[in-house]
Amino acid sequence: MKINNLENISARAKEAESYNQQFEKKSVEMILVWAAEKFAGKIVFACSFGAEDMVIMDLIYKYKLPIEVITLDTGRLPGETYDLIEATEKKYGLAISVYYPQTSTVEKLTSEKGLFSFRESIANRKECCQIRKIEPLRRGLAGKKAWITGIRKDQSVTRTIAQKMEFDEANQLFKINPLLDWSEEMIWEYIKEKKVPYNDLHEQGYPSIGCQPCTRAIKKGEDIRAGRWWWENPDQKECGLHGYCKVSKKS
């Protein structure tokens, strides 16, 4: 049984690699159109409402792509993110499925460890991300064949090993990162030119936005993800949604 699974993972990884080679000459639009057709009815865009994700949202709308949009409400998001979710729904008229953490698990966590246990250790922080992000994401991806993300290589040291198409072993489906090679400038050029809605916090020194208690504004010259879990080392700063942290620590 285990061997069959390993063979399957290896075959899927090879398949992802062959798509990756085809993606080299494809634009973001072409990748999204291809993916919507290839994984018809079984593809989802997990939107965090960051600037990159708003570009993808705009393209899904522009090309009327049949890609389901989901998001995770951890219960700790900043008010500005909720404002953006509403503005996005109004502008694009897209139905966005929101996944929440399990109430009983959050109640257990906060009653046993308090509201800010994630600041006490990396293990506690990962536990909170597991409950509020990873488990709801698993439900959002259940039964799907592929998911789309807005990650870019130059966002952090943990993301330099990412590929445009990967086989996501943890969630057992393909993961597509069409904006991987885009720079921050390209993202903002697109947003301004197409008048795409974005999070007000971006104007206040927040290039990367997650949960409110785990995100701060950055100072001039700081890395763009310096404001996320700022009390941890840069090579550990992943919540587990993208699974690059473990690999990057070896390099």
For residues 93 to 122, the per-residue mask of contacts with ligand SF4, x marking binding by CB under 6 A and - elsewhere, is -------------------------x----
Q: In this chain, which residue has its C-beta nearest to ligand SF4?
A: 211
User: How many chain residues bind ligand SF4 (CB under 6 A)?
Assistant: 13
CA angle at residue 159 from 30 to 66, to 5 degrees?
30
> At closest approach, how far in Å is the CB of 215 from ligand SF4?
8
Please select the residue that binds ligand SF4; options are 187, 239, 241, 245, rule is CB under 6 A. Answer: 239
Please select the residue that binds ligand SF4; options are 36, 80, 84, 133, rule is CB under 6 A. Answer: 133
Is 239 tagged catalytic? yes
SS (HEC) of the chain: CHHHHHHHHHHHHHHHHHHHHHHCCCCHHHHHHHHHHHCCCCEEEECCCCHHHHHHHHHHHHCCCCCEEEEECCCCCCHHHHHHHHHHHHHHCCCEEEECCCHHHHHHHHHHHCCCHHHCCHHHHHHHHHHHHHHHHHHHHCCCCEEECCCCHHHCHHHCCCCCEEEECCCCEEEECCCCCCCHHHHHHHHHHHCCCCCHHHHHCCCCCCCHHHECCCCCCCCCCCCECCCCCHHHCCCCCCCCHHHHCCC
Q: 129, 214, 239, 245: which one is catalytic?
A: 239
Stretch that binds ligand SF4, among 56-64, 129-137, 140-148, 188-196 (CB under 6 A): 129-137
Indicate whether 51 belongs to the interface with ligand SF4 (CB under 6 A): no
Nearer to ligand SF4, 59 or 149 (CB): 149
Nearer to ligand SF4, 215 or 248 (CB): 215
Distance CA 230, CA 234 (A): 8
Indicate whether 213 belongs to the interface with ligand SF4 (CB under 6 A): yes
Please select the residue that binds ligand SF4; options are 26, 38, 42, 76, rule is CB under 6 A. Answer: 76
Please select the residue that binds ligand SF4; options are 125, 144, 159, 237, rule is CB under 6 A. Answer: 125
Taking the alpha carbons at both ends of the chain, their separation in whole angstroms is 32
Tokens linked to 124: 């506690």
Please select the residue that binds ligand SF4; options are 54, 128, 162, 165, rule is CB under 6 A. Answer: 128
Stretch that binds ligand SF4, among 5-13, 40-48, 188-196, 208-216 (CB under 6 A): 208-216
Indicate whether 137 belongs to the interface with ligand SF4 (CB under 6 A): no
| Catalytic positions, written as ranges | 239
> Given the rule CB under 6 A, which residues bind ligand SF4?
74, 76, 118, 125, 128-129, 132-133, 210-211, 213-214, 239
